[in-house]
Amino acid sequence: MHTRTLGQGLTVSAVGLGCMGMSQSYGPNPGSRADMIGVLRAAVDRGVTFFDTAEVYGPYVNEELVGEALAPVRDQVVIATKFGWDIREGDGKSVGLDSRPEQIRRVADASLRRLRTDTIDLFYQHRVDPDVPVEEVAGAVGELVQAGKVRHFGLSEAAAPTIRRAHAVHPVTAVQSEYSLWTRDPEPEVLPTLAELGIGFVPFSPLGKGFLTGTVDAATSFSEGDVRTSIPRFSEDNRTANQALVDHVTTLARAKDAKAGQVALAWLLAQQPWIVPIPGTRRIERVVENAGAAEVALSAEELADLDAVAARIGVHGDRYNETHMGYVGR
């Protein structure tokens, strides 16, 4: 596996692993906890060194899973987790945002215990909290860095001005947002800001929540609890309208003896050397496939063709429901 460097010299595998789906959002997990530990350890064996989790995934159980799986290889991997939600004890539901400094400190200590580690490698604010100035957030994380509990500070789904304000207080190592061939929101403002400031970018849902792999179409039925049932982009009509882009990616993949998902990831990797996608999966074969994207070379003509097709076809449907859209781009 090739490596890439995010901001502040943080080196990770060129393709990471998003762990959320092992605990939530995509319906019942067909595998057991032991199976998921096996997937995580198999990823390490195949050169993946960058793992993404959060306290809210589950809540809590995803951090526990990642902590148990990676404890034997802790010195070989980079673990990212997140703070910023108000999770009510008892019902386990996220009910709003909370990035007060005292909450950040509390979450850090709890995450360290669940992850079975002494230091969080990358600590993201999961969503920008409008009630807490981001300068206070950056300062609180900076104190955790000074205390040795955190190595690097990150932001998720933040707008360019917010990134600048945070970075002025404490260096931001990485920004995480949704980015793929059919989600181009970061391009006008966020990516240029990161390039200027020397901050890495970590696209989540780099495969369009599965759509860009070619395994989801208008006829797909989602299981109970699958987050895609609430996402406008995944309505049957919108899946039909969006299919043309996937068909084009699939055709190119066949010509290159690759998979559609590998081409979608290779497109991302070609955008900037400091971009590190974190596709999620619950299967070892997908880990292998996604890691292989780092070996898929796209020519300048192929990249331009993908951009032209994506621009011509566009994308139908929002990437989140109305409530969740209110949390992004602040």
Q: Which residues are catalytic?
A: 57
Indicate the pairing of strand 3-5 with strand 94-97: unpaired
Angle subtended at Cα 227 by Cα 267 and Cα 173, rounded to the nearest 5 degrees: 50
Q: Which residues pair with 203 in a beta bridge?
A: 177
Q: Is the dihedral of CA 298, 247, 216, 304 positive or negative?
A: positive
Q: Is the dihedral of CA 11, 16, 20, 23 positive or negative?
A: negative
Which residues neighbour 37 within 8 Å (Cβ) at sequence distance 6 or greater? 65, 68, 69
Cα end-to-end distance, the chain, whole Å: 34
- Helix, strand and coil content of the chain, in percent to the nearest 5, comes to 45, 15, 35
**C-beta separation of 200 from 178 below 8 A:** no
